[in-house]
Amino acid sequence: MCAATRSNLLISLLVCFKLSIATCVVAETIDPHRLYEDRCSGCHAAHAGDFVYGSIDYSSGGGIGRKTSKRLHEFLTEGHGGLSARQIDALLDLFLGIHARGRVFRDKCRVCHDRAAELARSRLIIRNGRLMGRYSGRDIEDFLSHHGRLEGEEVEMMTQTLEGHFRATMH
């Protein structure tokens, strides 16, 4: 674990030196998308986004399974999926993020654009590490700061969402 994090993150390296081995293991980063794909997608939707939209209801605050009416956090803590507490937290953050981004798109974009994934696939491209309009040549983050009535952090969040969709189409 130490070696793996050390090559990636200077911060982790410092943590490794300063604190115990146990803390070093804890400092290992979890990739929640991969976690979902490794541990959940065998029985559920292939991608976390589809699982969140299809199976989790956030209308009452915390997530609840649509079929089972089980509270997500409790259900996983009780052992469904066999995850550690940290893995559960990482996955629940991912799910909540997906839900929040989906809501912004639905509220502010869907009247004019059908689906975020379709928009990304048909209109966008990554050039020099930046998300750009495939035909317009626009820098999308700049464009979104005055398009679609996004506010504050929503601009960066939506840019990342569209970029994520674009990258997913390249697989």
How many binding residues for ligand HEC (CB under 6 A)? 37
Question: Would you count residue 127 as binding ligand HEC (CB under 6 A)?
Answer: no
Question: Would you count residue 169 as binding ligand HEC (CB under 6 A)?
Answer: no
**Smaller CB separation from ligand HEC, 27 or 140:** 140
By the 8 A CB rule, do 44 and 68 touch?
A: no
Per-residue x/- marks for ligand HEC, 28-57, CB under 6 A? Answer: -----------xx-xxx----------x--
| Number of residues written out for the chain | 171
**Smaller CB separation from ligand HEC, 2 or 65:** 65
Stretch that binds ligand HEC, among 1-9, 11-19, 24-32, 132-140 (CB under 6 A): 132-140
Burial class (CB in 10 A: 0-12, 13-18, 19+), 66: exposed
Contacts of 48 (CB under 8 A, 6+ apart): 32, 33, 36, 37, 40, 94, 95, 98
Question: Would you count residue 140 as binding ligand HEC (CB under 6 A)?
Answer: yes
Rounded to whole angstroms, the Cα distance separating 139 from 127 reads: 10
Question: Would you count residue 109 as binding ligand HEC (CB under 6 A)?
Answer: yes
